[in-house]
């Protein structure tokens, strides 16, 4: 492609970290991403990957943002960081030439629960809260705070929400509808959501063991990531060094039980194989959830070239709908730092042929990383991030 879409700015907040460098420290084990969940009713050993607190006064600049909800605040923080990282001024972002595509699995869960509590108790809803309950609340707040009047899209596809958002954002930039597009995703962890995960047996009794036959569940997380996407020529003209080049996203559907993970590793492998060609690193979707990890491991074993390392960031960042986009940030950090992050600590690998590194290791180059996005119900979305130095 003569003028590819590149990532010119990154903002991320997850697992106790804000910003790419802090995130890298968590991924490489320099700092701990998990902390006690602190959820009422949960066992003391329950862990969670909490996003650091964002102060409203630090990121909200409009009167409309007075009522911003916690999830939207996280996404806005990541967006402001990404815009700054892309060396974009307020005037450059505002207006019709900028678009926004956001993804989320559950949206504003906390205030939805609060609204339902009041509605159940009093029979009436809170008018101040209701506008925050729409899935696109974060999208609306971002467009207001950043003055964006171009196309804005909210997508939701469970555990692949972030990847699908990037795919849709690539489409917008490539179509010429916008000069740049903020592609982001966010999800929050609330006591209600934690209770759901606990009650359905999805939580690990300790730390998640991705791709491991003894895995017993995930550690839930929360966070947000936003990327600035634009044509390489536009980024270079501004003197920005892009993080990575984006190849075409691969979106697909594979058979799966409704609300369940695919079970046919071969069918999934057939979808992965073309996209994995030439990949030097794979960011997996695995989170220590046995059904997910099994099918992904089987499909990677059948489609990935031998020796290509696989990492599973959800095992140190937490599992949530937008975690895949945080994984994409990890992929770009690996490319920029020419370092393969540690893989999952796998004692009894489901697929012994897969390569998991125990510690971070330098690489001469990482020309391409594929981020695997898989959602319950059978949706899939693969992102390909390439080193700018690769022709």
Within positions 347 to 386, which residues make up the interface with other proteins, using CB under 8 A? 375-379, 381
Instruction: Name which of 37 and 332 has its Cβ closer to other proteins.
Output: 37
As measured in angstroms, the least distance from the Cβ of 190 to other proteins is 12
Give yes or no for a contact between 367 and 247, defined as CB atoms under 8 angstroms apart.
Answer: no
Does 135 help bind other proteins (rule: CB under 8 A)? yes
In the region spanning residues 217 to 236, those forming contacts with other proteins, defined by CB under 8 A, are none
Instruction: Name which of 108 and 315 has its Cβ closer to other proteins.
Output: 108
State the number of binding residues for other proteins (CB under 8 A): 71
**Euclidean distance between CA atoms 33 and 218, whole angstroms:** 14
| DSSP secondary structure letters along 189-255 | --HHHHHHHHHTT-B-SSS--TTBTT---B-BB-EEEEEEEEEHHHHHHTT---SEEE---EEEE--
Sole binder of other proteins in the list 17, 27, 59, 133 (CB under 8 A) = 133
As measured in angstroms, the least distance from the Cβ of 245 to other proteins is 19
Candidate segments 81-89, 114-122, 226-234, 359-367, binder of other proteins by CB under 8 A: 114-122
**Euclidean distance between CA atoms 321 and 137, whole angstroms:** 17
Instruction: Name which of 299 and 339 has its Cβ closer to other proteins.
Output: 299
Q: Enter the DSSP assignment of 327.
A: H
Candidate segments 76-84, 155-163, 179-187, 305-313, binder of other proteins by CB under 8 A: 155-163
| DSSP secondary structure letters along 77-89 | HHHHHHHHHTT--
Sole binder of other proteins in the list 67, 207, 236, 337 (CB under 8 A) = 67
Query: Maximum Cα–Cα distance for the chain, whole Å?
Result: 63
Residue 158: how many other CB atoms lie within 10 Å = 18
Instruction: Name which of 91 and 200 has its Cβ closer to other proteins.
Output: 200
In the region spanning residues 246 to 265, those forming contacts with other proteins, defined by CB under 8 A, are 251-256, 258-259
CA distances (Å), 40 to each of 22, 192, 204, 320, 323, in order? 29, 10, 17, 20, 24
Residue 8: how many other CB atoms lie within 10 Å = 27
Does 113 help bind other proteins (rule: CB under 8 A)? yes
**Euclidean distance between CA atoms 120 and 128, whole angstroms:** 17
In the region spanning residues 279 to 338, those forming contacts with other proteins, defined by CB under 8 A, are none
In the region spanning residues 183 to 202, those forming contacts with other proteins, defined by CB under 8 A, are 192, 195-196, 199-200
Sole binder of other proteins in the list 108, 132, 299, 303 (CB under 8 A) = 132
**Euclidean distance between CA atoms 182 and 145, whole angstroms:** 13
Instruction: Name which of 57 and 259 has its Cβ closer to other proteins.
Output: 259
Candidate segments 34-42, 47-55, 149-157, 338-346, binder of other proteins by CB under 8 A: 149-157
Instruction: Name which of 54 and 256 has its Cβ closer to other proteins.
Output: 256
Instruction: Name which of 314 and 336 has its Cβ closer to other proteins.
Output: 314
Closest Cα partner for 189 from 71, 19, 40?
71
As measured in angstroms, the least distance from the Cβ of 135 to other proteins is 4
Give yes or no for a contact between 239 and 232, defined as CB atoms under 8 angstroms apart.
Answer: no
Instruction: Name which of 82 and 281 has its Cβ closer to other proteins.
Output: 82
Which helix or strand (DSSP H or E) is residue 182 part of? Answer: strand 180-187
Instruction: Name which of 137 and 281 has its Cβ closer to other proteins.
Output: 137
Burial class of 281 by CB neighbour count within 10 A (0 to 12, 13 to 18, 19+): buried
Residues contacting 98, CB < 8 A, separation 6+: 92, 146, 148, 150, 178, 179, 180, 181, 182
As measured in angstroms, the least distance from the Cβ of 194 to other proteins is 11
* Per-residue x/- track, 68-107, other proteins (CB under 8 A): --------------------------x-x---x----xxx
Instruction: Name which of 112 and 299 has its Cβ closer to other proteins.
Output: 112
């Amino acid at each position: 492609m003569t003028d590819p879409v590149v990532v010119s700015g990154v903002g991320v907040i997850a697992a106790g970290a804000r910003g790419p460098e802090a995130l890298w420290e968590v991924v490489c084990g320099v700092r701990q991403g998990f902390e006690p969940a602190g959820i009422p009713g949960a066992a003391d050993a329950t862990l969670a990957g909490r996003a650091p607190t964002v102060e409203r006064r630090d990121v909200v600049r409009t009167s409309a943002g007075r009522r911003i909800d916690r999830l939207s605040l996280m996404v806005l923080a990541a967006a402001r960081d990404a815009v700054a990282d892309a060396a974009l001024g307020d005037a450059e972002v505002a207006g019709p030439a900028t678009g926004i595509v956001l993804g989320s699995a559950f949206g504003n869960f906390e205030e939805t629960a609060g609204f339902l509590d009041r509605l159940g108790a009093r029979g009436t809803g809170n008018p101040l809260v209701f506008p925050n309950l729409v899935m696109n609340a974060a999208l609306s707040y971002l467009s207001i705070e950043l003055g964006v009047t171009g196309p804005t899209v909210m997508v939701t596809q469970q555990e692949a929400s972030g990847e699908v958002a990037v795919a849709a954002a690539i489409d917008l930039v490539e179509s010429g509808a916008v000069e740049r597009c903020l592609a982001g995703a966010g999800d929050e962890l609330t006591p209600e959501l934690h209770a759901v995960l606990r009650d359905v047996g999805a939580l690990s009794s300790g730390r998640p063991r991705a791709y491991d036959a003894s895995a017993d569940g995930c550690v839930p997380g929360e966070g947000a990531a936003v990327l600035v996407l634009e044509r390489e020529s536009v980024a270079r003209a501004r003197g920005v060094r892009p993080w990575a080049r984006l190849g075409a996203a691969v979106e697909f559907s594979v058979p799966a039980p409704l609300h369940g993970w695919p079970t046919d590793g071969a069918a999934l492998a057939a979808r992965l194989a073309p996209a994995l060609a030439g990949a030097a690193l794979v960011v997996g979707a695995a989170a220590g959830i046995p059904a997910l990890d099994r099918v992904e491991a089987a499909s990677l074993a059948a489609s990935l070239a031998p020796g290509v390392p696989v990492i599973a960031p959800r095992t140190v960042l937490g599992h949530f709908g937008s975690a895949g986009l945080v994984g994409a940030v990890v992929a770009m950090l690996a490319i920029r730092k020419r370092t393969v992050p540690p893989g999952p600590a796998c004692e009894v690998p489901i697929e012994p042929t897969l390569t998991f590194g125990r510690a971070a290791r330098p690489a001469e180059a990482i020309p391409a990383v594929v981020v695997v996005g898989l959602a319950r119900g059978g949706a899939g979305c693969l992102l390909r991030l390439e080193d700018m130095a690769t022709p």
